[in-house]
Amino acid sequence: MSLLKQKGITTLVDVRLRPGHASIGAFKKAKEPKKGVQGLLVENGILYIFLLGLDDIFIDYEDWQVRYKGLFEIAGDLLIERLQTVAAPFCLMCAEKHTKRCHRCLIAEYLLSKGHQAENLE
């Protein structure tokens, strides 16, 4: 939370495939917005948004990066369309700790290619 606040993040965008199945309860998308990750963020003045469609549907494939990049080559503008309505600065959240092994780095690369700014908050 302190890092998000330090960076002035106003919205956290959840791009996990299954946000309701997190192994740590605080990061689980709860059925009630006052619980789980939503409640934790709201308590700290940060909006939570789950964007279905930006999740890594290729997570079980060894070549997931190639497949995900291919998806962005075909439909990248459609995939990030809803992100463009989110007030900046926002943060992408996924379950993978290291950005280089996560599809959110590919989302960030695409955003950068479209003239947006992106920074890794590991």
Confidence band for 68, pLDDT divided at 50, 70 and 90: very high
Residue boundaries of the structural domains of the chain: 2-113
Q: How far is CA 62 from CA 69, 94, 101, in A?
A: 14, 18, 12
Do the Cβ atoms of 116 and 80 come closer than 8 Å? no
Q: At what angle do helices 103-113 and 64-80 cross, to 10 degrees?
A: 50
Alpha carbon distance, N-terminus to C-terminus of the chain: 12
DSSP bridge partners of 11? 47, 90
Mean pLDDT of 69-74: 95
Confidence band for 26, pLDDT divided at 50, 70 and 90: very low
**Is the pLDDT assigned to residue 20 strictly greater than 70?**
no
**Is the pLDDT assigned to residue 47 strictly greater than 50?**
yes
pTM of the model as a whole? 0.80
Do the Cβ atoms of 16 and 55 come closer than 8 Å? yes
**Is the pLDDT assigned to residue 36 strictly greater than 70?**
no
Confidence band for 95, pLDDT divided at 50, 70 and 90: confident
**Is the pLDDT assigned to residue 97 strictly greater than 90?**
no
Q: Checking DSSP bridges between strand 90-93 and strand 47-50, what pairing results, if any? A: unpaired
